[in-house]
Amino acid sequence: MERRLFDTTYYVGACDRTKILFENLFPVPKGMRYNSYIIKDEKTALLDTADEAVSEEFLENVKDTLKERSLDYLVVHHAEPDHSALVMRVLEIYPSAKLVTGVQALKYLNQFTGCDLSARTQTVKDGDVLNLGKRSLTFISAPMVHWPEVMVSYDKETKTLFSADAFGSFGCCEGSLFISNLNHTEEWESEARRYYSNIVGRFGVNVSALLKKAEKLEIDNILPLHGLVFDRDCNFAINKYLKWSSYEAETDDVLIVYGSMYQNTKKAVEILSCNLFEKGKNSKIIDVSYTDFSYIISDIFKYKNIVFACPTYYGGIFPRMEQLLNLVKKTCVKDRKIYLLENGTWAPTAAKNMIDLLSDLKADICENKITIKSACDSETISQLKSLAEFISDC
């Protein structure tokens, strides 16, 4: 189907509504959208392809959009297969099309396809311009947003940033592709934060470097490779990325992540949450055993105050909590206030092990841990009250 976005820019992407796990890792209850665009100027350019799962719909969209015209350029901003799986198909269908990509992306495409695509490729680097007629694409390198070879491009005629994975989100949408058709731009936020924190959260420095380059551009439209198209509120998205890439928390409320084998640790965090509320502090409680890590990582990017609570297990940390904390370490999140609560019947050591595990994190780990011996007693109840007061006063 032909779907014009604005000017000579068309949408040719597609949704995979049957996808359960993106990258076989992240739950996508609303499926996954793979965006791809065509510019029809004096020259025609297809900007990225899509995932294998949507191949037929994507190729049909390309055909319906180009109509009688041939394809002059296939631009690859990012060589990851969710956007490049159909490069060979496109090059076969449009034999005169030139592949336009960076040297590193070409190397990765050759590796993925098992073919040497050099003869059909025009390599570009940071600052190079691809002229299409009235419009042109200026390439901007964006290493590690999300892979080393990533480039974004900017069209000054329509003030459009083709942002690759940046500003993407999980999920498909119905009807309009434009953010302007949401009732609230904030509706974009939670799945965009989950996407950002889990996919590129570790690369905050690289995302900041890209945002620095983007500062010099006038941006009216952001066209990412996933999720909605920004036809307004670009600054809302850019400001969110400025916050997320600097690991700045968005709320002083408290996130309580707990694991519990016999509900005693759970009871303790419920008491803590009530005490916090009485002190005027909101909290969110998450059971680590029943929540996908991607949602917890997303909240860890959002919350300033985080409580980890769990039983001792084999002289260490409750396994599901240990897995989570190992992942938290990999995100490089920083400037959080962390509070620990452990449970143990004969030798509680979970808190010490959590402190050791998180020691590389640039976070403020409160040394006043709470230890529950099997179940809450009057002493731990009093400590929970004091902890709530301490957190609220910080």
Q: What is the DSSP letter of 119?
A: G
Residue nearest to ligand FEO (CB): 80
Note the residue count of the chain: 394
Tokens of residue 339, six digits: 């509070």
The distance of closest approach from Cβ of residue 53 to ligand FEO in the complex, given in angstroms and rounded to an integer, is 13
19 contacts ligand FEO (rule: CB under 6 A): no
The distance of closest approach from Cβ of residue 157 to ligand FEO in the complex, given in angstroms and rounded to an integer, is 26
| CB atoms inside a 10 Å sphere around CB 232 | 12
40 contacts ligand FEO (rule: CB under 6 A): no
The distance of closest approach from Cβ of residue 147 to ligand FEO in the complex, given in angstroms and rounded to an integer, is 6
Rounded CA separation 135/8 (Å): 9
The single residue among 33, 146, 302, 336 that binds ligand FEO, judged by CB under 6 A, is 146
Choices 75-83, 184-192, 288-296, 376-384 (CB under 6 A): range interacting with ligand FEO: 75-83
Binding residues for ligand FEO restricted to 211-230, rule: CB under 6 A = 225-226
Rounded CA separation 228/5 (Å): 12
Pairing of strands 4-6, 370-372: unpaired
The distance of closest approach from Cβ of residue 203 to ligand FEO in the complex, given in angstroms and rounded to an integer, is 11
The distance of closest approach from Cβ of residue 126 to ligand FEO in the complex, given in angstroms and rounded to an integer, is 19
Question: Contact 78/163 with Cβ under 8 angstroms?
Answer: no
Q: How many residues bind ligand FEO (CB under 6 A)?
A: 9
Choices 57-65, 76-84, 211-219, 258-266 (CB under 6 A): range interacting with ligand FEO: 76-84
193 contacts ligand FEO (rule: CB under 6 A): no
The distance of closest approach from Cβ of residue 104 to ligand FEO in the complex, given in angstroms and rounded to an integer, is 14
Give the three-state DSSP class for 153. strand
Tokens of residue 116, six digits: 């040497």
The distance of closest approach from Cβ of residue 180 to ligand FEO in the complex, given in angstroms and rounded to an integer, is 23
The distance of closest approach from Cβ of residue 76 to ligand FEO in the complex, given in angstroms and rounded to an integer, is 12
Binding residues for ligand FEO restricted to 226-255, rule: CB under 6 A = 226
The distance of closest approach from Cβ of residue 352 to ligand FEO in the complex, given in angstroms and rounded to an integer, is 38
| Residue closer to ligand FEO, measured from CB, 43 or 78 | 78
| Residue closer to ligand FEO, measured from CB, 207 or 387 | 207
Q: Which of 99, 105, 1, 117 is nearest to 58 (CA)?
A: 1
Rounded CA separation 394/349 (Å): 26
Choices 42-50, 77-85, 176-184, 212-220 (CB under 6 A): range interacting with ligand FEO: 77-85
| Residue closer to ligand FEO, measured from CB, 72 or 82 | 82
Q: Which of 82, 30, 36, 81 is nearest to 59 (CA)?
A: 36
Alpha helices in 99-233 (DSSP H): 103-113, 186-195, 204-215
End-to-end CA distance of the chain: 56
Question: Contact 73/43 with Cβ under 8 angstroms?
Answer: yes
Choices 74-82, 94-102, 212-220, 245-253 (CB under 6 A): range interacting with ligand FEO: 74-82
80 contacts ligand FEO (rule: CB under 6 A): yes
| Residue closer to ligand FEO, measured from CB, 78 or 337 | 78
Binding residues for ligand FEO restricted to 250-289, rule: CB under 6 A = none
| Residue closer to ligand FEO, measured from CB, 82 or 155 | 82
> Phi-psi bin for 175: left (phi > 0), alpha (psi -120 to 50), beta?
left
Distances (CA, A) of 214 to 149, 154, 355: 18, 9, 38
Q: Give me the 148-177 binding string for ligand FEO, x by CB under 6 A, dash otherwise.
A: -----------------x------------
83 contacts ligand FEO (rule: CB under 6 A): yes
* Beta-carbon contacts of residue 375 (< 8 Å; ≥ 6 apart): 264, 267
The distance of closest approach from Cβ of residue 79 to ligand FEO in the complex, given in angstroms and rounded to an integer, is 9
Question: Contact 61/37 with Cβ under 8 angstroms?
Answer: no
Rounded CA separation 137/130 (Å): 5
| CB atoms inside a 10 Å sphere around CB 350 | 28
Positions touching ligand FEO (CB under 6 A) are 78, 80, 82-83, 146-147, 165, 225-226
